[in-house]
A and B are shown apart, each in its own frame.
Chain A
Amino acid sequence: MDLQTEVLIIGGGATGAGISRDLALRGIPSLLVEKGDFTSGASGRNQGLLHSGARYALNDPEAARECISENRILRRIAPHCIEDTGGLFVSLPEDGHEYRADFIRACGAAGIDTEPLSTREALSMEPKLNPLMIGAVRVPDGAIDPFTLVVENVRDAEARGARFLLHTEVTGLIREREGISGVRAIDRITGEAFTVAASQVINATGAWANEVLGLAGLSIGIALSKGSMLITNTRLSERVINRCRPPASGDIIVPNDTVSILGTTSLRVEDLESHEVTPEEVSFLVDELSRMIPAIKGERFTRAYAGVRPLVQTAQTDDDRAISRGFALIDHGSRDGLEGLITITGGKLITYRLMAEKTSDFVCRKMGLHVPCLTHLQPLPGAGRGHTFQDRLLRLRNQVPAFRRELLCDCELVPRETVDAILREGKVRELQDILHRTRLAKGTCQGGFCVYRLLGVLNERRKEEGLGSSNRILKAFLEERWKGIRPVLWGTSLKEEELIESIYKGLFNLTPDEVGPKGGGSP
């Protein structure tokens, strides 16, 4: 199977998906390859924050203006991926009034609306805030669901002719005379190798940019920064809660549907797969953030996770093409004499659309086309469909008759019909793919119960297809789950852990013997 396309996009994060849609809206064919599932990298490992830009207003006004502009666009085009929570910047006694005054001025200069609040006002809005606070500022922060955002971009692009290959890894760049004419790739599940010919190759792999560039003997200056986050079992606040002080670790709490996400830390790492959250990071986040919301001390945490941010080193992005301090668009034709290859990296989730716009503009220039960007005007296809717990409850009531409600997940209300529909689409290839596309394994038990049930649904299909089964998938899932849970095992979480171990190691007698060296596997 050898393929051909106009533009080949490497990377299924927000940027790659955004480029795919942007090009599709301009009528340019593209094919996207992703070595895992959508949002496997930083796009799926962040806080889900819809930045207002206020956090950058003082020390990076340009980034702040970019954020607030994209914030307004996303509210228009992706309202179903956003919860308009609003946000507060909270001043504690040690933060002082002076920083707050500067902060409000800087927000004004960047075009970000603010409203100063007294302690009493802030407490009436967010009763769990530390009553010793000295004031707060309201900003237009929000919460965004990155996975839905990406899948919606993909859905729209696909409807307009764009193609996608998941679990497909680029293994080589094909050189022809002065440039790149395509890639060699391998299907990670079937092992099939093939080539894709393309007139433009876009490296949108974020932190993995140098892995791809390395295939052509190139590299750019990227630093890797690990950020760790904690998920609480309940939602602590209605709004995004920021600390009103210069940016630092442990200064933000983002509500996410029924839970809250505490963040973040920032540690330079060398390894792209540095996803381990250390006990020190956990203790730091709990201590630091409990200063804003004291109840955090007694809160139950369901999971810890980390993402690796690609930080573009400004000194080396002076390719005259650095669009912003936040992200870098690099033309390897002018930089390295290798035509047909572009790298887009750095940036933030909130600027994914802008990054896609700039990249697509550049591709158009290369192709000699003059087609304007439409992504800031055209809403995503599912706009108007809600994604909150309440919405799921209502849909469940309306769509599934009461006598037939087989909920695979009781915590997050995932009916079996949802999984059946995903399986019918036929694009899902791994257990984790299904978990990404549903809220399975995201609730209190972190999949302890629902994954057994999900596996049953998968095995039902395997039986129909005459295939066998093994417990490798179940054990690989439990091992993966362990990485997120182990850092937060104390208090109530220990009860859940005893329950899960009693089921899987006790009752089901799953033993380490058959555990493979690596997780995953095809259902």
Chain B
Amino acid sequence: MKRWDLIVIGTGLAGLTAARTAVEMGAKVLVIGRGMGSLALFGNTIDVLGRIPPGADMRAGVADWIAAHPDHPYARTGWPGISEALGAFRGLFPPPYTFDPVGDGNSLVPTGAGTMRPTYLLPVTMTAGAGMSAADTLIIGLRGFKDFQGDTVSLHLQCRGVNLSLPRYGLEGLTALALARLMDEESFRESLGEAIRSQMAGEKRIGLPAVLGLKAPADVLGTLERITRARVFEIPMLPPSIPGTRIFHRFREFLIDKGATFLLGNPVIGAEVKGDLCEGIALQNPPLLTPHHAKHYILATGRFLGEGLRADTERISEPLFHLPVLQPESRGKWFRERFFQQESHPIHRAGIVTDPELRPVDPGGRVILKNVRVAGSILAHHAMIEEHSHEGIDIATGYLAARRALGS
């Protein structure tokens, strides 16, 4: 019977970070996921805490936040923990496709709705967006590509917008993935660059939907900037997310290279628990149930979308280990009356409560499973959507969970 050092359940940014951290520490790691996780949906930039005003000091901002929210997942890591984990993340993306802050703290980047969104680390393909101004920016839409509406973006940002057609390539009806693959071809991006140049009226920056290639986005950026002689940036848009897919691919490539094993596509449907230890998990691989065993386990299965949490008409539950879920007292209290309210919906703060080492605890604070750690958005006491803290929580807790599991 093969026994792993660590089994990571979940292939979102939390699970991938945990796996990568463990691999770096020399552990034999099995990663199990149903698919690409939320990275392929929303992964774009790395948010840490959007509530901190742009330009303000992150260290002080996070410290204030923790003081006001002592149960928040960031209270487990503090700024030093976040910072260390982010450093490790950035180490995975060497030049030319790097992730960096713009200026000292958060910066604002344009979105596919024409709004500005605060974020912390930007891929090199998005940094030029952070400094854009209405007067010097041209927004390029691709006619027939429905998930990025160029006119919505340009009208809201009050800058010039142009919708391009490239009849030779028949872009109508293409998906983001198909476009990104076209971008990987030098001849296509040269045609696109020429088409953009013919539309320019002295603009210094060009905003495009976030589809600038899967394999070598920095090369795509280089080609377009060379031809247009302007700075080019990607604008995050409706899922699926190409930039998030790049992050996933980079982690997977690294993990496989370092000897981790990836099992994608089959759900974990049960855990074997003896006392306060998990002895194994069962992977469904019809018609078989395959057991896997490890010294340590990290649960990074996400929230409802990732099926880390489930809800029937009465209660919210955690389906794998049946861990207690902190939650509002009844379904009537899950959501507020209006969709947009200043306070987030109470259900968002539901989740798994842990000890400082991220081990799940019961309502009395006793550790339930000593060799299981919980990381990412499944944790209780945060509202990642409104806080703009999703990636930060994933990276910081994924990193911490692996370090603690492997005894560091």
**A residues neighboring B (CB under 8 Å):** 279, 283, 286, 403-408, 416, 449, 452-453, 455-457, 459-460, 462-463, 468-471, 474-475, 478-479, 481-482, 486, 489-491, 494-495, 497-499, 501-512, 515
| Bound-state Cα–Cα, A428 to B385, Å | 35
**B residues neighboring A (CB under 8 Å):** 38, 41-42, 44, 50, 111-118, 144, 146-147, 149-152, 154-156, 158, 161, 163, 170, 172-173, 236, 238-239, 303-305, 307, 310-313, 331-332, 334-335, 337-342, 347, 384-386, 388, 390
Report yes or no: B388 in contact with A452, Cβ–Cβ below 8 A.
Answer: no
Task: Knowing A452-B113, A456-B146 are in contact, say whether A478-B339 is a contact too (CB < 8 A).
Answer: yes
B342 surroundings in chain A (CB, below 8 A)? 512
A502 surroundings in chain B (CB, below 8 A)? 38, 41-42, 305, 385, 390
5 residue pairs A–B, Cβ–Cβ below 8 Å = A459-B152, A463-B154, A495-B307, A502-B42, A502-B305
Report yes or no: B114 in contact with A471, Cβ–Cβ below 8 A.
Answer: yes
Nearest-CB residue, chain A, relative to B108: A509
Nearest-CB residue, chain A, relative to B386: A505
Task: Knowing A491-B311, A502-B385, A509-B115 are in contact, say whether A463-B238 is a contact too (CB < 8 A).
Answer: no
Report yes or no: B152 in contact with A495, Cβ–Cβ below 8 A.
Answer: no
A416 surroundings in chain B (CB, below 8 A)? 146
Report yes or no: A481 in contact with B339, Cβ–Cβ below 8 A.
Answer: yes
Report yes or no: B238 in contact with A449, Cβ–Cβ below 8 A.
Answer: yes
Report yes or no: B339 in contact with A495, Cβ–Cβ below 8 A.
Answer: no
Report yes or no: A489 in contact with B335, Cβ–Cβ below 8 A.
Answer: yes
Task: Knowing A463-B154, A491-B312, A506-B388 are in contact, say whether A498-B304 is a contact too (CB < 8 A).
Answer: yes
CB distance from B72 to the nearest CB of A (A): 17
CB distance from B174 to the nearest CB of A (A): 10
A481 surroundings in chain B (CB, below 8 A)? 339
Report yes or no: A406 in contact with B144, Cβ–Cβ below 8 A.
Answer: yes
Report yes or no: B113 in contact with A474, Cβ–Cβ below 8 A.
Answer: yes
B311 surroundings in chain A (CB, below 8 A)? 490-491, 494
A449 surroundings in chain B (CB, below 8 A)? 147, 238
Report yes or no: B156 in contact with A490, Cβ–Cβ below 8 A.
Answer: no
Report yes or no: A404 in contact with B144, Cβ–Cβ below 8 A.
Answer: yes
CB distance from B317 to the nearest CB of A (A): 12
CB distance from A166 to the nearest CB of B (A): 25
CB distance from A268 to the nearest CB of B (A): 22
CB distance from A402 to the nearest CB of B (A): 8
Residue A452 contacts which of B117, B149, B385 (CB distance < 8 angstroms)?
Answer: B149
Report yes or no: A508 in contact with B117, Cβ–Cβ below 8 A.
Answer: yes
B337 surroundings in chain A (CB, below 8 A)? 486
Report yes or no: A462 in contact with B115, Cβ–Cβ below 8 A.
Answer: no
Report yes or no: A503 in contact with B238, Cβ–Cβ below 8 A.
Answer: yes
Report yes or no: B338 in contact with A482, Cβ–Cβ below 8 A.
Answer: yes
The 6 closest A-B pairs by CB, nearest first: A456-B149, A482-B339, A469-B155, A508-B113, A512-B340, A509-B117
Report yes or no: A499 in contact with B113, Cβ–Cβ below 8 A.
Answer: no
CB distance from A492 to the nearest CB of B (A): 9
Name the residue in B114, B116, B307, B340 with the highest tally of chain A Cβ atoms < 10 Å from its Cβ. B340
Nearest-CB residue, chain B, relative to A509: B117
| Bound-state Cα–Cα, A406 to B148, Å | 13
| Bound-state Cα–Cα, A449 to B113, Å | 12
Residue B147 contacts which of A283, A286, A453, A460 (CB distance < 8 angstroms)?
Answer: A453
A286 surroundings in chain B (CB, below 8 A)? 313
B341 surroundings in chain A (CB, below 8 A)? 512
Report yes or no: A506 in contact with B385, Cβ–Cβ below 8 A.
Answer: yes
Task: Knowing A499-B239, A506-B388 are in contact, say whether A455-B117 is a contact too (CB < 8 A).
Answer: no
Residue B146 contacts which of A408, A475, A482, A511 (CB distance < 8 angstroms)?
Answer: A408
Report yes or no: A490 in contact with B313, Cβ–Cβ below 8 A.
Answer: yes
Report yes or no: B170 in contact with A494, Cβ–Cβ below 8 A.
Answer: no
Nearest-CB residue, chain A, relative to B156: A469
